Amino acid sequence: MIRLDKYLADMDMGTRSEIKKAIRQGMVKVDDVTVKKPELKVDADTQKIAVNGKEVVYRRMEYYMMNKPAGVVSATKDPKEKTVLGLFKGQRRKDLFPVGRLDKDTVGLLLVTNDGELSHRLLAPGKHVDKIYYAKIDGEVNSEDADAFAQGIDIGDEKLTLPARLEILTSGKESEIRLTIQEGRFHQVKRMFEARGKKVIYLRRESMGTLVLDPQLREGEYRPLTEEELKKLC
């Protein structure tokens, strides 16, 4: 059982004070009966809650795949920048957050959820979850770079990066690569290439663990995870 005002606040139907006011004004119905007590306990699994005639479905956990565009930050709030949560439309839980961070100019796979346990399993360094990136590099990437990445790179932190797998797709003045890492340090991919005297000019995350970016999702679009995707992740 959950308080009616908390039920609606969790589903981002307004601030707690706004919701209490709406309930007291008779704008909320429980099982088609108008109620005016914000503290009323309701069963989120069995009872029907509606605000101004529109049903509000309670979801304890939500999981979304987003193809993050450039120009937005991977945060829940930011005083200056537009966040990935600002791309969501319609009803959603207010406690959603992005799992891990992609730089403002980095695009690609981003998992958005309110499942803290799953987030920890995906991000904890000891879990060794593969994260695969496609990148365009200003400079010729060669086998020496691949060998160095496999040994670990000094990017100015206390420890070298964990061994990473660098696949060279094309090599020249501008190279294309695919990189598999198991960490998520600040600007890690960019710093790894900078340590080798090269610059990342485009970066896209393609996968995280078993979750692979849906090629049908355009940048800025998102969708709920399928049951199969969620089952593999969990």
Residue 135's alpha-carbon distances to 101, 156, 195, 222, in angstroms, are 17, 22, 16, 22
Which candidate in 12, 78, 103, 214 is catalytic? 103
How far apart are alpha carbons 48 and 138 in whole angstroms? 56
Q: Which of 209, 18, 3 is nearest to 99 (CA)?
A: 209
Instruction: Assess whether 145 carries a catalytic annotation.
Output: no
State which H helix or E strand residue 202 sits in.
strand 199-208
- Say if CB 112 and CB 96 are below 8 A apart: yes
How far apart are alpha carbons 122 and 209 in whole angstroms? 7
The residues with which 175 forms a beta bridge, in sequence order, are: 137
Positive or negative, the Cα torsion across 154, 156, 158, 164?
Answer: negative
Show which residues are catalytic.
Answer: 103
